[in-house]
Amino acid sequence: MTGIVVLAVAGLLLVVLALATARRPEHEIPDKDGYFAKWSALHGGYDPRTGNPWLRGWLTMVYRIARPLAKRGVQPDVLTVSSIWLAGAVFVPADIGGRWAMLAGWVLVASGLFDTLDGCVAVLEDRTTRWGYVLDSAVDRVNDVIYLLAVVSVGAPPELALACGFGFFFMEYVRARAGNAGGDEVGRITIAERPNRVIFLSASIHFGGVFLGHRELVATTGMAVITAMTAIAIVQLLVAIRSQLLALPVDAPGA
C-alpha cells in the first residue's frame, strides 16, 4: 500500500510539473514526414520510412500521440522522467497477479512509449538539447533494468535477465564508443531495438495473465526470445560499425 501511495503522489507531482513548465511553441509543428526527416538527421541519416517496419510503425504511433503534446508545449524532460514512473507502476498490477498481469504488460508498453515520446516532442518543438540527450540515455538504461526486474517478478529466471541486461548495455556501449571513434551512434538498426524490447518484455508479462497456469513459462520464453534477439543484434551492430569505422580516413579519431 505504501508503494501505491508513493506512486500516486509522484504521479500527481509530475502532472503539476508538466502543467507548470508547458510553453506553447511559436512555430508550426511539423507533419509526420517532417518529423521523420528530423529524426533521421539525429540518428546518423537512417530513414525510418524505408527501413525496419516495426520501427516505422512505432515512430508513427509516437508521432500521433506526441503532436498534440507538442502543440501545448509540454516539456520533454517531464515526459522522460514520467517513463520511469510508469515503469515502476508495472509492479503494482504484476504483484497482484492473476488477470492483472495483462494490465501490467500494457503499463510497460506505456512506459516505453513515454520513453520515445520525449524525444519526439523535443524534435517537434525544436527543444532538443545535449542535456536532454544525456538524460534520455540515462533513463533508457534505468528503464531497461526495471523492465527486466518486472519480468523476473512474474517468473523469469534472474540469470536470464542478467544475460539479457548485459546484452542491452553492451549494445548501447558499443554505439557510444563508435560515436567517440568518429562514426555515428546508430551504426545499424538491429532486431533488438527499444520498440522490440518493449514489445517482447511486455508480452512476457501480459500473456502470463492470459495463460494463468503457465505464467513462469511465458515469462521465461519471452525473456529467452529477446535475449537471443539481442545476441544476434550485437553481431549485426559490430559488423556494421566495423565496416563503418574502417572506411573512415586514417587520421579519424580512434583510427
Q: Where are the domains of the chain?
A: 30-246
Average pLDDT over residues 131-156: 94
| Contact present, 220 and 207 (Cβ < 8 Å) | no
Per-residue pLDDT reduced to its tens digit, 185-227: 676 789 998 889 999 999 999 999 999 999 999 999 999 999 9
| Contact present, 170 and 238 (Cβ < 8 Å) | no
Q: Is the pLDDT of residue 54 over 80?
A: no
Determine the Cα angle at 140 with ends 135 and 142, to 5°.
Answer: 95
Average pLDDT over residues 48-74: 88
Provide, rounded to the nearest whole percent, the portion of the chain with pLDDT above 90: 66
Q: Is the pLDDT of residue 95 over 80?
A: yes
Q: Which of 42, 64, 13 has its CA nearest to residue 133?
A: 42
Provide, rounded to the nearest whole percent, the portion of the chain with pLDDT above 70: 96
Per-residue pLDDT reduced to its tens digit, 113-124: 998 899 899 999
Question: Which CATH number describes the domain made up of 30-246?
Answer: 1.20.120.1760
Q: Is the pLDDT of residue 242 over 50?
A: yes
Q: Residue 30: left (phi > 0), alpha (psi -120 to 50), or beta?
A: beta
- pLDDT for the residue numbered 173: 94
> Model confidence at 253, in pLDDT bands (50, 70, 90)?
low
Average pLDDT over residues 38-63: 83
- CB-based contacts of 25-31 (< 8 A; 24+ apart in sequence): 25/70, 25/71, 25/73, 25/124, 25/125, 25/126, 27/126, 29/67, 29/70, 29/71, 29/124, 29/125, 30/123, 30/124
Q: What sign has the CA pseudo-torsion 27, 33, 37, 40?
A: positive
Q: Is the pLDDT of residue 252 over 60?
A: no
- pLDDT for the residue numbered 255: 45
Q: Is the pLDDT of residue 51 over 80?
A: no
Lowest mean pLDDT among 128-137, 142-151, 155-164: 128-137
- pLDDT for the residue numbered 251: 62
Amino acid present at 37: A
Q: What is the pTM of this model?
A: 0.87
Q: Is the pLDDT of residue 234 over 90?
A: yes
Average pLDDT over residues 52-80: 90
What lies within 8 Å, CB to CB, of 207 at 6+ separation is 105, 218, 222
Measured CA to CA, the distance from residue 182 to residue 140 in angstroms comes to 23
Mean pLDDT of the chain: 90
Q: How crowded is residue 170: how many other Cβ atoms within 10 Å of its Cβ?
A: 16
Distances from the Cα of 250 to the Cα of 65, 184, 187, 240, angstroms: 44, 17, 19, 18
What lies within 8 Å, CB to CB, of 186 at 6+ separation is 43, 44, 46, 175
